Amino acid sequence: MKDYFRRERISFKYTPILWAVRLLFVSLVIFSGSAQWIIMLLGSAVSVGYVHSTEMEHMLPLSDKEITAKNLRKIRFVWLRYLILGVMSKVYVYLAVKNGWIVANSLIANETPLIDICFFILLMVYAYELMLDAGNDNKRLDGLGSIFKKKAIKYFIETLPHIVFFIYAISMMMSGSSRRGILSKGSDRFHIYILITAAVLLTVDVILERRKSRLCDYYPYEV
């Protein structure tokens, strides 16, 4: 924890513009309503920076296991930051609906908060997976070839939740004054079961990928 906050202080000290970027990001996450998932996923894809891919980092007296553990800790801290902002956003949406404030596409959050909560759970698992992929040397070394090496079960626990996520994400964005897309079909319980199942499958995939996290030898990027 101390190392994470130390790096944060250094970043903000020598790059003051990060204050404006961070403030903008926080505002977008909290006040973007049903479009929040776009901000969260874009942020997740770029928020986890890894210094161990540089030659200097490999010269430090740390074992591969220690460096991998440090990177996984950083993922947890960044993910926790996103979780806190997401919860703050849900609180704002609740207060906005209750008090008549301006809020983007509040229909689902107002009528069926359980669907909104289940979608948020799936979003947070997805965000963790993106952060894990961003720092997984296995992914970068395998490249596109890894796509064709996956087993059928891997497609099921990884690809299916992604499809479910985007179908519901787009449907919720479209549901401004009335339900659109898949939300207009079936009961609320049906949608809750689908979202929870997708979140569980993606969680299993994240656990499997996390166990495979390791540090590879230094390799320079070709230019």
pLDDT at 194 over 90: yes
What pTM value is reported for the model? 0.77
The mean pLDDT value for 107-136 works out to 84
Opening angle at CA 182, ends 164 and 203, nearest 5: 20
pLDDT at 201 over 90: yes
- What is the DSSP code string of 65-110? HHHHHHHHHHHHHHHHHHHHHHHHHHHHHHHHHHHT---SS-HHHH
| 119 three-state secondary structure | helix
The mean pLDDT value for 21-40 works out to 83
Report the alpha-carbon distance of residue 45 to residue 37 in Å, rounded. 12
Confidence of residue 7 (pLDDT cuts 50, 70, 90): low
Query: Percent of the chain beyond pLDDT 70?
Result: 69
pLDDT at residue 215, as a whole number:
57
Mean pLDDT of all residues belonging to the chain: 76
The mean pLDDT value for 160-183 works out to 85
pLDDT at residue 168, as a whole number:
92
pLDDT at 115 over 60: yes
pLDDT at residue 193, as a whole number:
95
User: What number of other Cβ atoms are within 10 A of residue 143's Cβ?
Assistant: 8
pLDDT tens, 52-73? 444 455 566 666 677 677 777 8
Report the alpha-carbon distance of residue 95 to residue 171 in Å, rounded. 23
Provide the residue ranges of all domains of the chain, joining segments of one domain with +.
Answer: 2-211
pLDDT at 162 over 60: yes
> Which residues lie below 8 Å from residue 1, measured CB to CB, with a gap of 6+?
73, 77
Give the highest mean pLDDT range of 86-90, 101-105, 128-132, 191-195.
191-195
> Which residues lie below 8 Å from residue 52, measured CB to CB, with a gap of 6+?
58, 67, 71, 215
Calculate the CA 148 to chain-centre distance. Answer: 24
Confidence of residue 218 (pLDDT cuts 50, 70, 90): very low
Report the alpha-carbon distance of residue 129 to residue 2 in Å, rounded. 24
